[in-house]
Amino acid sequence: MRHLLIYDMIEAVHSSGSIRKAAEDTNITASALNRRIQGFEEEFGSEIFERLPRGMRLNPAGELLLHHIRLQRQDLARVHGQVADLSGIRRGHVKIACSQALLPYFLPREISKYRAEFPDVTFTVNVRDRIQAERDLVSFDSDLALVFEPAHMVDFEVLHAVHQPVMAVMSAAHPLARQESLRLRDCLEYDLVLPASQFGVRVLLEQASARLGRKLEPVLETDSFDMVRHFAAYGQGIGFQIPVGLNALARPDMAFMPIAHRDVSGGELYLGHLRGRTLPVAALKFATQVVTALSVQGNA
């Protein structure tokens, strides 16, 4: 609320006791703040601060005004709350179809962040592959889909896309973990743990290795990304995953390294909904948050 900034300033001066200190909190110069205060006092019709040699103190008029400011803020917050209520942001249910990669870190984090602000919004998260996810949108079983390299996208309206390179996942003790960069052909010399063939990462890897004239021969093929990570963690070979499914901080015993872009270019993670559909408020707002989170992660 830009037009209420002066109130913040008054409170800052009040609580810090001097214009100079308050100026730091407010991120403006003392002179600017000083003139804002003076300007306000002129409009208001009376001084609200006593000028002491050591700083500023509210005078009785200022005390009265401060009370008004607080009352006013509180009432504005109430209005905001009521507006939020009637726009439906506060309550609601969001149904999400997503790739497995989103399950361990990304979605739990985003959902709990969202629910910290709107505790009355509930969620359904269904794991779906790239084809099923779109089907879920069409049948209205999901509001949002968050999938890696979706299959046809006829009914899929993209809200946001973010590029995801393919990461090799291995034990920190693995010979390749010490290398600067990682080529696909190096990986092929070791035991591979691959997701099943319906997954986007697998498709990308198959294409890339075909270009090398090689064939992928996994020691373990699974439809559980958890399995991939854990098997790799035991030092048993190399797994693959996209960044959004990994959390470097959480696993110091593991190494996550991007495969050289010229070998495997990676793919796109798409957030979208059913084409032409107007989303419920809660779903739309959550989608906005997810877009922000994906952008930040993409830049980091």
Tell me which amino acid residue 71 is.
L
Report CA-CA distances (Å) from 124 to 4, 92, 154: 40, 11, 24
Range 76-115, binding DNA (CB under 7 A): none
Q: Element (H or E) spanning 21, and its range?
A: helix 19-26
User: Applying CB under 7 A, which of residues 7, 12, 14, 37 lies at the interface with DNA?
Assistant: 37
Residue 82 contacts a second copy per CB under 8 A: yes
Which span sits near DNA by CB under 7 A: 29-37, 188-196, 223-231, 280-288? 29-37
29 binds, among a second copy, DNA, none (CB under 5 to 8 A by kind): DNA
Beta strands in 232-286 (DSSP E): 239-241, 254-258, 267-274
Taking the complex as a whole, the smallest distance from the CB of residue 240 to a second copy amounts, in Å, to: 42
Extract the tokens encoding 282.
Answer: 């809660």
Helix, strand, or coil (residue 88): coil
Indicate which of a second copy, DNA, none lies near residue 40 (CB less than 5 to 8 Å, by partner kind). a second copy
Q: Is 2 in the site for DNA (CB under 7 A)?
A: yes
The DSSP element (H or E) to which 148 belongs, if any, is strand 144-148
Task: Kindly tell me which residue out of 12, 14, 45, 56 binds DNA, with binding defined by CB under 7 A.
Answer: 56
Q: Judged by CB under 7 A, does residue 46 bind DNA?
A: no
Q: How far is the CB of 25 from a second copy (least distance, A)?
A: 19
Closest distance to a second copy from the beta carbon of 42 (Å): 10
Q: How far is the CB of 251 from DNA (least distance, A)?
A: 43
Cα of first residue to Cα of last residue in the chain, in angstroms, is 30
φ, ψ for residue 251, nearest 5 deg: -130, 80
44 binds a second copy (CB under 8 A): yes
Which of 86, 154, 249, 250 is in the footprint of a second copy by CB under 8 A? 86
Q: Give the C-alpha separation, 50 to 209, whole Å.
A: 77
72 near 3, Cβ under 8 Å? no
Q: Which is nearer to a second copy, 76 or 219 (CB)?
A: 76
Q: Which of these segments, 48-56, 120-128, 279-287, 289-297, binds DNA (CB under 7 A)?
A: 48-56
For residue 32, state whether it binds DNA (rule: CB under 7 A).
Answer: yes
What's the token pair of residue 81? 């709350």
Is residue 18 part of the contact set for DNA (CB under 7 A)? yes
Alpha carbon separation from 222 to 58, 194, 197, 240 (Å, rounded): 69, 7, 9, 12
> What is the layout of strands, in order, in the sheet containing 156-164?
121-127, 92-98, 144-148, 267-274, 156-164
Does 87 sit near a second copy (CB under 8 A)? Answer: yes
Between strands 156-164 and 254-258, the pairing is: unpaired
Cβ atoms 172, 164 nearer than 8 A: no
Among residues 1, 45, 54, 250, the one that binds DNA under rule CB under 7 A: 54
8 or 221: whose CB is closer to DNA? 8
Where on the chain is the footprint of a second copy (CB under 8 A)? 1-6, 39-40, 43-46, 60-61, 64-65, 67-68, 71-72, 75-76, 78-80, 82-83, 86-87
Where on the chain is the footprint of DNA (CB under 7 A)? 2, 13, 18-21, 27-32, 34-39, 51, 53-56
